[in-house]
């Protein structure tokens, strides 16, 4: 896919800033000096800002989101399906933010009811779609399974993160229970499903299966990726930056499967993979073992 087009579309996200300013500028003289800017679940205002403060707030929120998005997207050298999907989702998020700003202006100008349910539904559906793409891309071809091949297996999970996501799921369900609007309750079940899935993922952990044909990564019985042994060029113990997040991470040429701050970075012929583990030396030993067995087979 065209990386120049990818970078051009990433840069175009910044049009959201002048467009947001234009939203306010085009109706500035019609806006009340004190605007309703925060609304409860029923759509009624419960927070107000001065007109200029509202504009600054909208610009700052948009700018912060754009900085985070640009940083993530700019790290991709060769965009893949997941990178393009992430870019698409970011356009959805910026578009939703733009539409919410417009809805706030329309409420203050014309008293039109504010309904964020459709916008939230679009964002959460896009997030679920992106999660599906992350699970389904870069899987590769399943490695052959032969009984005569020496195999080892490692599991890398996090009961701590599983507990955190479980608590967040419970909180989300509690919020859903007290929301009076049926439509909003249904929409809020989508992030609850994502949190529940994250809890299950952290509890089950990533399973690394080392065979004479390579490394297979799976979770919850689902194969995430197969790495043929001939594609492995080098590997070394490496730290993981917590700021990069946990779970399935990375877009473009890089992928990480990590729930902690240590692991092994594997350099491939077509990118790199990071396998998180509390005892990364065990991963190194497993990789050394399958390489040694391959050499032994080649010499016989």
What pLDDT score was predicted for residue 159? Answer: 94
Q: Token digits for 279?
A: 């005892």
Between 170 and 79, name the one with better pLDDT: 170
pLDDT (tens digit, 9 = 90+) per residue, 242-278? 988 899 988 878 899 999 999 999 999 888 999 999 9
| Lowest-confidence pick of 82-91, 149-158, 189-198 | 149-158
What pLDDT score was predicted for residue 41? Answer: 65
Mean pLDDT for 204-212 is: 93
Q: How far apart (Å, rounded) are the C-alpha atoms in residues 278 and 158?
A: 10
Of 66, 68, 74, 71, which Cα lies nearest the Cα of 20? Answer: 66
Q: At what angle do helices 51-74 and 3-12 cross, to 10 degrees?
A: 170
End-to-end Cα distance, the chain: 43
CA atoms within 13 A on the CB side of 182: 0
pTM to 2 decimal places: 0.79
What pLDDT score was predicted for residue 272? Answer: 93
The total number of residues shown for the chain amounts to 300
- The answer, yes or no, to whether residue 74 has pLDDT greater than 90, is no
What pLDDT score was predicted for residue 263? Answer: 96
- Residue pair 162/228 in contact (Cβ under 8 Å)? The answer is no
- The answer, yes or no, to whether residue 216 has pLDDT greater than 70, is yes
What pLDDT score was predicted for residue 86? Answer: 87
Q: CA–CA distance from 74 to each of 16, 88, 164 (Å)?
A: 18, 14, 30
Name residue, tokens 């499903």. 193
Decide: helix, strand or coil at residue 76.
Answer: coil
What pLDDT score was predicted for residue 171? Answer: 92
Of 56, 19, 54, which Cα lies nearest the Cα of 33? Answer: 54
- The answer, yes or no, to whether residue 298 has pLDDT greater than 80, is no
Decide: helix, strand or coil at residue 267.
Answer: strand
Torsion (CA) 137, 71, 73, 97 in degrees, nearest 10: 100
Decide: helix, strand or coil at residue 196.
Answer: helix
Q: Token digits for 11?
A: 């840069």
| Lowest-confidence pick of 65-69, 81-85, 93-97, 146-150 | 146-150
Mean pLDDT for 128-153 is: 79
What pLDDT score was predicted for residue 246? Answer: 92
- The answer, yes or no, to whether residue 294 has pLDDT greater than 90, is no
Mean pLDDT for 22-27 is: 92
Decide: helix, strand or coil at residue 224.
Answer: strand
Q: Cα 20 to the chain's mean position, in Å?
A: 25
Q: Token digits for 85?
A: 């999907």
Mean pLDDT for 9-34 is: 91
Q: Is 209 left (phi over 0), alpha (psi -120 to 50) or beta?
A: beta
What pLDDT score was predicted for residue 42? Answer: 67
For the chain, helix, strand, coil in percent to 5 are 55, 20, 20
pLDDT (tens digit, 9 = 90+) per residue, 97-119? 999 899 899 999 988 888 777 88
Decide: helix, strand or coil at residue 217.
Answer: strand
Q: How far apart (Å, rounded) are the C-alpha atoms in residues 186 and 9?
A: 33
């Amino acid at each position: 896919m065209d990386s120049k087009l990818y970078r051009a579309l990433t840069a175009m996200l910044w049009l959201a800033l002048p467009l947001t300013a234009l939203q306010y500028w085009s109706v500035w003289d019609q806006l009340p000096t004190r605007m309703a800017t925060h609304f409860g679940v029923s759509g009624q205002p419960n927070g107000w800002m001065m007109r200029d403060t509202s504009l600054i707030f909208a610009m700052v929120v948009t700018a912060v989101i754009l900085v985070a998005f640009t940083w993530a997207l700019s790290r991709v050298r060769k965009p893949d399906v997941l990178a393009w999907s992430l870019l698409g989702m970011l356009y959805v998020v910026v578009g939703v933010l733009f539409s919410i700003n417009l809805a706030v202006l329309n409420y203050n100008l014309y008293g039109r009811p504010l309904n964020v349910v459709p916008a939230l539904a679009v964002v959460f559906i896009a997030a679920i779609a992106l999660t599906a793409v992350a699970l389904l891309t870069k899987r590769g071809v399943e490695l052959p399974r032969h009984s005569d091949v020496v195999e080892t297996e490692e599991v890398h999970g996090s009961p701590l993160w599983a507990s955190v996501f479980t608590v967040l799921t419970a909180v989300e369900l509690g919020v859903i229970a007290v929301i009076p609007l049926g439509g909003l309750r249904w929409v809020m079940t989508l992030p609850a499903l994502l949190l529940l899935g994250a809890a299950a993922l952290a509890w089950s952990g990533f399973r690394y299966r080392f065979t004479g044909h390579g490394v297979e990564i799976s979770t919850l019985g689902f194969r995430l990726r197969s790495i043929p042994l001939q594609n492995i060029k080098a590997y070394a113990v490496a730290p993981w930056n917590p700021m990069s997040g946990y779970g399935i991470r990375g877009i473009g040429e890089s992928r990480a499967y990590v729930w902690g701050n240590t692991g092994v970075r594997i350099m491939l012929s077509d990118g790199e993979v990071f396998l998180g583990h509390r005892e990364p030396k065990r991963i190194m030993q497993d990789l050394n073992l399958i390489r040694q067995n391959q050499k032994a087979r080649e010499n016989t």
